[in-house]
Structure 1
């Protein structure tokens, strides 16, 4: 503390020291030690009242007043028998207000000293009453420009004192509210030039919006040296100077700028003491720490404005340094894609505080912050072209945004080159073309073979069977004239067998003829065959057979088996059903075909009657189609066949 006469007072442990300018040293002025006590009287705060009396608060030995100019010393301590005495001997903070009172924050309650009566008024936390002090352990006190006294507690948040009602309004940390106070441990309070209230805590800096009661928080991640605030004071330039457990910070509230200072900048150390701050009338700031104190005029603290050049100092591939020789490009094979770079900002004031950031274009989309590390490693990079960019700052955070760069090319293996891919693509395309042509040739050959077989069967075998039938009929006619009964019998058999063979051959020729591959040809044959047989027997019929079906083509075997099943079902109705009506239905669902043939004939008990060759053939051919045939029949109630198979 510097009093109004310009005398500098410094408390160290339990000794009050005074600076003697003529001697150029501090002189031991007074000891506050309470020998043998648990709390021996460490000096926590020094203040001066409007009457120029010096007050010294100690932790464990109460409060001292040094009367000016008489030099009389008064000692105030807690007396359990005196209600108007100090509430606790563990004094943490002192605040002379603009009404002449001295506020004393202790480890057990808040006190207000009235110099006219020499008595203390007490304010305590009363559970259940939100208008009392939120916590009895007081860390810091502050009176704003409007005369309002603010009380920072060690675990109860921040309290605003209403002098008219002598009540408190409390601001606490709420984990569920991002706009609440960042911590209930309040360590420092001050205002900036615009009158904004700032509160330091054990976990961040806070700014109060007085209209809404909401808080904006600032943390180490935003730029503070640490989130643990120890003391604060403003300057004439609108900045806040914040001492922490990791150095000193100059914070610009308007631009949200941070400038952190460390031991290299002249600090007594990184660790400062809670509440140990004083701003003199001439604007000089004092901050106390565990290794002494710092004093400075904020306007004289200037940053290093030098923009340092950035250079790449080393390039290593597979751990071996490569000569750069002023080149800004390098080419690596795909086997050498493990490399590292080193770089430097050419500012030597405090080189260990120079900061860096890099970006590898072709891999990174934004800058990667390195802090003070000045090297980076890359491995397993895919073949391609990259641009390594690096920028850096001097020790005061002035950045060279342009930085420097290096072009890096990783060549691919031959099998990933464009010429190899074009060659491979050409070869594959050639093979596909040859395969396609071969398949087309095979299909055409099969088509020609099927046509030739169908033609030969029709011309040769069909003609021969017709001739046999013709000649047998001729001989039969002659035998009838000659009345030869045995010859007649055998000739009738020859004629019948040749007719059946001719019909079977016709079916085979139809099945293998490629002209019958389309569904419209197949279904037309089915309609014609069914209608001819039903008409020949006078059976009324309904044919629900479409013109075509949206199905894949049937191969030769499928077409033949399907035809023979259909033919067998229709023939059975004509020969055995003795019916009046018949219905034939062909439908499809997806790629599944359904055939239903039903009549109203005499039917039979399908569970008792043994199966003939025709029925067995239907079942067997349905299985060859990969489908299923179902027979339903009942005596006197007709017969129903259903065939389903996938195409």
Structure 2
């Protein structure tokens, strides 16, 4: 028997019995869509870690795929993998990544996000050859074993490599590989090594190792390849390059060749790849040919269907690995995932290849012998046999298939009108009569043995199958509307005929010949399909879900996405008792009228596509066939009732945490690997985002929600796998992520992680306490300052009172005595002059004191004016010449009362002193305003003092220095040769 015939036989026997007995388990296939820079490269050893994230390598380095993005690690990445030439990849139980390279073993610690190199040849001369890693294995206790090109077996011990055994001098077969090509520890402390095509068993005792057995198997002649499986039963299945696939029992030493069906056929199959599945079965895969499942315990062999292998056409698989119920295939253009899934849906003609056009199925008919007659956009009209064989019939596009007799079908085509098809002869012939008006037929319903209702792009017609006569309902005000509409479906219900069209729903009563439009008060909805259940007319619409209409033409119930329908575009309907099956654009819904519940299904439940095609449905016995955009799905209602959707739990995890501030973005990819993951947002972070995902194909099919606390509502993010947040208040939160299956309203939490948003220092309690204390301190200081100011004002008043008492009082006293003396000597003119002088002096002192405390004169301009007045008076009284020069901007410059008063007093004392020492009638005064206020008073010095009035005592210099200190200024008095100069500098 030819190999492909055997495959078809097994397919018929185990996978596709006709009409009944479908297996509970099946395979789902998908190509994992990777970014372009890795999608079109040869990928090696794709495998998943415990969180469902995919790791693989190619010539550009190591990569991690989380369903959202690919992280690449190479020579310049952080962390670096130290060498791009990778030939082995192993993930241990702690999710550490171990890489075999040409420079040794590289450990990628995912928790620390750092790499370490273990070089087995440190200090040796031929270092390059001895560092090439040929095999790696993770033991039962997470011990890492590796073998180098010089046939040494090592174990990672701490930060060094321990030599376990040296096979350099072991006996070799001429054809066998001289290296260790496989290491495995199927049982604790039992290590198996494949060296030179021969199996060796090593026993571990603590840190010691001894070779327990070697298995020469002379009949194999050293041809055992690394395609070797160590089964939990203790038996071994391996592929020998020259002779086939064997089952070996180490307990008995017996070697058995597996059945011929799975043996390699060099002309067609090539070399097999073996993989141990979690179920205990062994997967045997041949590139582009077949996938077998072999059960060691029962010796039962099953083959997958051709639909699965079809996805591997023109894709050469380089590696297989398993993760739970998944098999990952690394191939020459990417990665594929095959999942062993319990599902009621069995799919035909499905394709997952992005390079192959899928079958968009528009009509189905199941014949009694198990064959299916199918029309698709891809291959036209053809027959699909139970063994998977396809027989082309016609290129015509068949929109509807109407069973007529046991061996004949009436076909509604687009472009070829009505056609008869005879199943016995497999031939098509046009229907009788002039059917040009039925050239584009879209619907067929049998009225009786001779008459057929045919829907077209231009109305509905009644066709007589024997005479070819065509009539149309043409009574009623809406007849023209029906003639102008595309008819999508026709339903015969008692004495009424219903037409679902693109312009509404119409009903025709043959007894009266009257045509009317139902639901005239509603918009002209597009109606796609019709079904009668329990006396209610069920109508599928385009965008408004399902209407349930009673005999009076009133809508009594509606079903849409708000109450659980998978989608609002309903393309096909079928009834099974009181259960309605609706195919929509977003999956399939099953509505139980009895229980009043809706259960919806999508690709996550193994449907080939979420969108169903219009009217592509057929019921054969208890089995339903439904056409989709990607092949056919078939099931029975009992299978559907037994299926529980909760059995499918997509695996997702948090994958990265990104924070952004003025310095840019920073990413943390360690979240999946932390023992107690948590997030911290520091005050300098302006925004952050949290990504989640998985390589799991189902994770991309769900809608997601998030919230920051149990008291806040869920926020929908759709199928986006990222949460972005900005402007969040400081505090402690818990980020929760929930999912919702298509067609369901309930959401299910799947992830959570603590989040701490640290406050800025200015909103912390200690800062607020400090601000409160500082505010209190400032208030206290202000109070002390005000008290000091009040004390100063009080002291100033006291000083002014004292000055007035001393200056004015003494002057008035002199005036009193002088006037008293004048009363005794009324003719004494000299006494009268003294009274006048004393009064004038008192007025001058009074004027100076009032001016010094009057706030209206707090400017430099007022001070200059006062200085000029005093200087003019001095010139007149002392009969000397004075010149004054004012420089700098002083017109609008404010001065404090303290500076005005003291500066004027120092100036007056300086002028008096200069006048006292004047040697000639000349005095110069310079005042300059800048950052400081500078006063210079100078005159020639001489011994002549006859003209100086004795207005001052001997304490003038002392008081000038005292006043200068009050102004925080500087006073310099210099006498050089014949010039006397006084310089005062006051900071402004």
Q: Please give the range of the TM-score, normalised by the shorter of the 2 chains.
A: 0.5 to 0.7
Partner of 1:43: 398
Partner of 2:771: 424
**CA distance, structure 1, for counterparts of residue 630 and residue 651 of structure 2:** 36
Counterpart of 2:444 in 1: which secondary structure?
strand
Q: Is the 8 A contact 1:180 1:214 kept in 2?
A: no
Partner of 2:675: 326
Structure 2 counterparts to residues 628-643 of structure 1, below 5 A? none
Q: For residues 287 and 421 of structure 1, do their structure 2 counterparts lie closer, same or farther at Cα, with a shift above 3 Å needed?
A: same
Q: For residues 304 and 258 of structure 1, do their structure 2 counterparts lie closer, same or farther at Cα, with a shift above 3 Å needed?
A: closer
Q: 2:497 aligns with which of 149, 165, 170?
A: 149
Counterpart of 1:111 in 2: which secondary structure?
strand
* 1:71-108 Cα deviation digits (max 9, x unpaired): 998723437xxxxxx73322221112479842111233
Partner of 2:254: none
Q: Is the 8 A contact 1:338 1:380 kept in 2?
A: no
Partner of 1:96: 446
Shift in Å, 1:159: 1.9
**CA distance, structure 1, for counterparts of residue 718 and residue 581 of structure 2:** 24
Shift in Å, 1:199: 2.0
Q: Is the 8 A contact 2:418 2:438 kept in 1?
A: no
Partner of 2:602: 261
Structure with larger RCO (C-alpha < 8 A, sep 6+): 2
**CA distance, structure 1, for counterparts of residue 506 and residue 783 of structure 2:** 88
Shift in Å, 1:121: 1.6
In the alignment, structure 2 segments of 5+ residues that lack a partner are: 1-363, 659-666, 814-988
**CA distance, structure 1, for counterparts of residue 480 and residue 556 of structure 2:** 21
Is residue 630 of structure 2 the alignment partner of residue 274 of structure 1? no
Shift in Å, 1:456: 12
Is residue 514 of structure 2 the alignment partner of residue 166 of structure 1? yes
Q: Is the 8 A contact 1:90 1:106 kept in 2?
A: yes
**CA distance, structure 2, for counterparts of residue 327 and residue 20 of structure 1:** 55
Shift in Å, 1:435: 1.6
Counterpart of 2:776 in 1: which secondary structure?
helix
Partner of 1:218: 560
Structure 2 counterparts to residues 462-501 of structure 1, below 5 A? none
Partner of 1:10: 373
**CA distance, structure 2, for counterparts of residue 200 and residue 104 of structure 1:** 20
**CA distance, structure 2, for counterparts of residue 290 and residue 340 of structure 1:** 35
Q: Is the 8 A contact 2:651 2:694 kept in 1?
A: yes
Shift in Å, 1:413: 4.5
Q: For residues 93 and 364 of structure 1, do their structure 2 counterparts lie closer, same or farther at Cα, with a shift above 3 Å needed?
A: same
* 1:356-402 Cα deviation digits (max 9, x unpaired): 74535269933344555555565675543222223457899898845
Q: Is the 8 A contact 1:65 1:75 kept in 2?
A: yes
Shift in Å, 1:425: 1.8
Counterpart of 2:579 in 1: which secondary structure?
coil
Q: For residues 216 and 440 of structure 1, do their structure 2 counterparts lie closer, same or farther at Cα, with a shift above 3 Å needed?
A: farther
Shift in Å, 1:316: 4.6
Q: For residues 351 and 217 of structure 1, do their structure 2 counterparts lie closer, same or farther at Cα, with a shift above 3 Å needed?
A: closer
Structure 2 counterparts to residues 370-385 of structure 1, below 5 A? 370-371=717-718, 376=723, 383-385=730-732
Partner of 1:606: none
Partner of 1:575: none
* 1:540-596 Cα deviation digits (max 9, x unpaired): xxxxxxxxxxxxxxxxxxxxxxxxxxxxxxxxxxxxxxxxxxxxxxxxxxxxxxxxx
Moved more, 70-79 or 383-392: 70-79
Q: For residues 327 and 438 of structure 1, do their structure 2 counterparts lie closer, same or farther at Cα, with a shift above 3 Å needed?
A: same
Q: Is the 8 A contact 2:414 2:441 kept in 1?
A: yes
**CA distance, structure 1, for counterparts of residue 751 and residue 688 of structure 2:** 21
Structure 2 counterparts to residues 524-539 of structure 1, below 5 A? none
**CA distance, structure 1, for counterparts of residue 500 and residue 721 of structure 2:** 43
Partner of 1:76: 432
Is residue 538 of structure 2 the alignment partner of residue 197 of structure 1? yes
Counterpart of 1:87 in 2: which secondary structure?
helix
**CA distance, structure 1, for counterparts of residue 648 and residue 752 of structure 2:** 17
Counterpart of 1:334 in 2: which secondary structure?
coil
Shift in Å, 1:200: 2.7
Partner of 1:120: 470
Q: If each structure's helix is expressed as a fraction of its own residues, which one has the higher value?
A: 1
**CA distance, structure 1, for counterparts of residue 672 and residue 541 of structure 2:** 52
Q: 2:753 aligns with which of 395, 401, 406?
A: 406
Counterpart of 1:110 in 2: which secondary structure?
strand
Q: Is the 8 A contact 1:187 1:200 kept in 2?
A: yes
Structure 2 counterparts to residues 562-641 of structure 1, below 5 A? none
Q: If each structure's strand is expressed as a fraction of its own residues, which one has the higher value?
A: 2
Q: For residues 51 and 8 of structure 1, do their structure 2 counterparts lie closer, same or farther at Cα, with a shift above 3 Å needed?
A: closer
**CA distance, structure 1, for counterparts of residue 464 and residue 389 of structure 2:** 36
Q: Is the 8 A contact 1:58 1:90 kept in 2?
A: yes
**CA distance, structure 2, for counterparts of residue 193 and residue 224 of structure 1:** 20
Q: For residues 444 and 332 of structure 1, do their structure 2 counterparts lie closer, same or farther at Cα, with a shift above 3 Å needed?
A: same
**CA distance, structure 1, for counterparts of residue 625 and residue 451 of structure 2:** 25
Is residue 576 of structure 2 the alignment partner of residue 207 of structure 1? no
Shift in Å, 1:187: 2.6
Is residue 741 of structure 2 the alignment partner of residue 386 of structure 1? no
In the alignment, structure 1 segments of 5+ residues that lack a partner are: 34-39, 80-85, 174-178, 468-647
Q: Is the 8 A contact 1:125 1:133 kept in 2?
A: no
Q: Is the 8 A contact 2:367 2:373 kept in 1?
A: no
Count of matched residue positions in the alignment of Structure 1 and Structure 2:
474
Shift in Å, 1:189: 2.5
**CA distance, structure 1, for counterparts of residue 475 and residue 803 of structure 2:** 117
